[in-house]
Structure 1
Amino acid sequence: MENPFIDPIFELLLDAQQPLKVHDISHALKPLQQTELDQDPNRHLFKLNFLIMNALYQLQDELINEYHLQISSLHIELQVKPESDIQLVNTNITNNLKAYYLDWQNYQTSAEEIAQLLAQFWQQFQRQHKQPTSLTKLQALEIFQLNKDATFAEIKQRWRKLALIYHPDRGSHSPEKFKQYLAAWQALKDIHVCIS
Structure 2
Amino acid sequence: MRNPLIGPILDILRTHPEGVGEFEILKTLKQQLPELKNIATDPNLQLFRQHFLIMNALYQLQSSLWQEESLTLSISATHIRILPSEQVPLTNSKELNNSVDVKLAAYYLDWNEYEKTNEEAVTRLLDSFYQGIYQTDDREAALATLQLTRKSPSKDEIKRQYRKLAHQTHPDRGGDTEAFISLRHAYECLMF
The TM-score with structure 2 as length reference comes to 0.61
The alpha-carbon deviation at position 155 of structure 1 amounts to 8.9
Q: CA separation in 2, counterparts of 1:156 and 1:49?
A: 33
* 1:74-85 to 2 correspondences below 5 Å: 74-82=78-86
Deviation at 1:87, TM superposition (A): 6.2
Question: Aligned partners of 1:21 and 1:118: how far apart in 2?
Answer: 22
Distance 1:184 1:14 in 2: 46
CA distance in 2, matches of 1:43, 1:96: 22
Match of 2:112 among 101, 105, 108: 105
Q: CA deviation at 1:57?
A: 0.3
What is aligned with 1:141?
A: none
Query: Corresponding residue for 2:170?
Result: none
1:33 aligns with 2:41: no
Give the conservation status (yes or no) of the 8 Å contact 2:158–2:190. Answer: no
Deviations 1:85-117 (A, max 9, x none): 886565532222111110111112111111122
Alpha-carbon separation, structure 2, partners of 1:87 and 1:63: 17
Give the corresponding residue for 2:123.
Answer: 115
Spell out, residue by residue over 1:4-60, the C-alpha distance to the aligned partner (whole angstroms, 9 max, x if none).
211011111122143211111100101233330112211111110000000000001
Q: Give SS of 2:58's match.
A: helix
2:66 pairs with one of 64, 67, 79: 64
Q: 1:67 to 1:4 in 2, by over 3 A?
A: same
Q: Distance in 2 between matches of 1:67 and 1:61?
A: 9
Q: Which of the residues 44, 54, 57 maps onto 1:42? A: 44
- Name the structure, 1 or 2, with higher relative contact order (CA <8 Å, separation 6+): 1
How far the C-alpha of 1:123 sits from its partner, in A, is 5.3
The 3 A distance-change label for structure 1 pair 70 and 48 is same
> Match of 1:94?
101
- List runs of 5+ in structure 1 lacking aligned partners: 128-135, 138-150, 158-182
Percent of residue pairs identical: 33
- The verdict on how the C-alpha distance between 1:184 and 1:73 changes in structure 2, with shifts beyond 3 A counting, is farther
Aligned residues between the structures: 148
The answer to whether the Cα contact below 8 Å between 2:71 and 2:82 also exists between their aligned partners in 1 is: yes
Return the letter of the residue paired with 2:44.
N
1:124 CA drift (Å): 5.9
Q: Which structure: larger Rg?
A: 2
What one-letter code is carried by the residue in structure 1 that aligns with 2:61?
L
RMSD: 3.6
Deviations 1:156-178 (A, max 9, x none): 99xxxxxxxxxxxxxxxxxxxxx
Do the aligned partners of 2:134 and 2:189 also contact (CA within 8 Å) in 1?
Answer: no
Which residue identity does 2:65 align to in structure 1? L
Instruction: Give the letter aligned to residue 81 of structure 1.
Output: S
Separation (CA, whole Å) in 2 of partners of 1:47 and 1:191? 28
Counterpart of 1:20 in structure 2 is 20
Offset at 1:121?
4.0
Distance 1:126 1:74 in 2: 24
